């Protein structure tokens, strides 16, 4: 994977969290930058760890399916992209950050971490797919984490104004980007094999 593909992957992986952050920001009475940065940091760390876990799982299985690895990566990325698009066009309202406002100070850190995990399950599946392509998982995880940190922090701050306007569209764009990245992985492999 080239650096542009990795950046697009990082942006795509952070759109779920961005949409959740927009909802959180829209529901907050007063949005403060330190709180937005703290929420962004928690989401970024969780989102960076999950593809590494997925990659480790995929690497363990890669030797058994080496002949089809590019198809597995393409299939996983495309399926996740289609799922994100489906969630964006249906009326499912998954505000993973709602628990943060419901809990007191003591439960906030755990609630935000659980919300981060809920929005990063797809990153774990992407990590599994990346085990089948030539990629530096540490660089990919760092990019995903930084993109998520940035987008969640901005999402919380902008949520008041933009939450209802672009929340679902961000998730749909993330799904399209995942499908494009999966197609690029497949194309690179097939064109290299020809």
CB burial class (10 A; 0-12, 13-18, 19+) of residue 3? exposed
CA 116 to chain centre: 10
Residue whose tokens read 């922090």:
153
Q: 93 to each of 13, 20, 55, 90, 98, how far by Cα in Å?
A: 19, 10, 29, 9, 11
Cα–Cα dist 45/43, whole Å: 6
Cα–Cα dist 142/140, whole Å: 5
pTM above 0.85, yes or no: no
Q: How does pLDDT run across 22-76, given as a tens digit for each residue?
A: 767 776 667 788 988 999 999 999 999 999 999 998 888 766 766 676 787 788 7
**Tokens at 51, concatenated:** 């593809």
Q: 33 to each of 16, 37, 104, 153, how far by Cα in Å?
A: 20, 6, 19, 8
CA angle (21, 148, 168) in 5-degree steps:
45
Helix pair 105-130, 69-89: axis angle to 10 deg:
140
The whole-number pLDDT of residue 96 equals 45
Query: What pLDDT tens digit does each residue of the chain (194 aa) get?
Result: 788 889 998 998 888 788 778 767 776 667 788 988 999 999 999 999 999 999 998 888 766 766 676 787 788 778 877 877 887 787 554 444 444 444 444 456 676 677 677 667 778 888 888 888 888 999 999 999 999 999 999 988 887 666 556 666 766 776 777 787 778 778 877 886 55
Sign of CA dihedral 151, 155, 161, 167: positive
Q: Where are the domains of the chain?
A: 3-193
Q: How many residues does the chain have?
A: 194
The whole-number pLDDT of residue 174 equals 67
Cα–Cα dist 36/56, whole Å: 31
The whole-number pLDDT of residue 69 equals 65
């Amino acid at each position: 994977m080239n650096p542009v593909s990795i950046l697009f992957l990082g942006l795509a992986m952070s759109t779920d969290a961005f949409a959740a952050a927009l909802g959180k920001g829209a529901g907050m009475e007063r949005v403060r930058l330190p709180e937005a940065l703290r929420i962004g940091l928690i989401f970024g760390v969780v989102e960076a760890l999950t593809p590494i876990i997925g990659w480790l799982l995929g690497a363990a299985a890669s030797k058994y399916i080496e002949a089809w690895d590019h198809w597995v990566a393409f299939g996983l990325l495309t399926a996740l992209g289609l799922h994100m698009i489906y969630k964006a066009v249906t009326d499912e309202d998954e505000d993973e950050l709602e628990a943060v406002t419901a809990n007191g100070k003591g439960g906030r850190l755990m609630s935000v971490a659980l919300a981060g995990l809920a929005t990063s399950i797809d990153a774990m599946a992407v990590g599994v797919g990346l085990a089948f392509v030539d990629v530096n998982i540490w660089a990919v995880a760092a990019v995903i984490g930084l993109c998520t940190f940035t987008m969640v922090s901005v999402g919380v701050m902008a949520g008041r104004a933009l939450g209802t306007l672009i929340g679902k569209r961000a998730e749909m764009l993330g799904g399209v980007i995942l499908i494009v990245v999966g197609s690029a992985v497949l194309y690179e492999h097939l064109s290299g094999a020809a």
